């Protein structure tokens, strides 16, 4: 169980923000728009959407974009992430491997990662469940 839990208000705000971000996604190649919202330690929510590029894989994932927005705003710790996508074959979207590592840079193993689609919330995981035995900032000498 995560040491931090979302209030209903926080969850609703994350969901609305991620869905709005998904509507802004630029996904002409995959036709797979994704939106993400990150709640930082100060209670601010930062949005991101995927931005594809013809020179694959030079695009940007929604989670990476949301983390970048958080850092730009002065945030350094993610408390929760909500990712919205259509999923495929009845599955729920979760962050890709690269984004899981990016989330680890700013989130503890108990970081909440909530999946959703355009209609409903999906499963909730911790970062440790999605990226077990992860390598993070604490592994670097001096941190």
CB 130 within 8 A of CB 115: no
Start-to-end Cα distance in the chain: 26
Residues 6 or more apart whose CB falls under 8 angstroms from that of 140 comprise none
Q: Which positions are catalytic?
A: 63
CB 87 within 8 A of CB 117: yes
Which tokens in the block code for residue 110? 């108990």
Return the pLDDT at 1: 46
- Could you give all domains of the chain from N- to C-terminal order, each with its CATH number? 8-132 (3.40.140.10)
> Rounded to two decimals, what is the model's pTM?
0.92
Alpha carbons within 13 A on the beta-carbon side of 68: 10
Which tokens in the block code for residue 130? 């999605």
pLDDT, averaged per 10 consecutive residues of the chain (143 residues), comes to 79 98 97 97 98 94 98 98 85 94 96 94 96 87 65
């Amino acid at each position: 169980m995560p040491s931090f839990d979302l209030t209903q208000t926080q969850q609703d705000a994350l969901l609305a923000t991620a869905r709005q971000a998904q509507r802004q996604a630029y996904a002409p190649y995959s036709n797979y728009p994704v939106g993400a919202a990150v709640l930082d330690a100060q209670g601010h929510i930062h949005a991101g959407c995927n931005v594809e590029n013809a020179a694959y894989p030079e695009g940007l994932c929604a989670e990476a974009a949301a983390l970048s927005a958080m850092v730009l705003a002065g945030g350094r710790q993610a408390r929760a992430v909500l990712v919205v996508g259509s999923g495929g074959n009845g599955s729920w979207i979760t962050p890709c491997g690269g984004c899981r590592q990016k989330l680890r840079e700013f989130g503890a193993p108990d970081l909440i990662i909530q999946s959703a689609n355009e209609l409903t919330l999906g499963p909730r995981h911790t970062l440790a469940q999605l990226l077990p035995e992860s390598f993070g900032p604490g592994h670097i000498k001096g941190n």
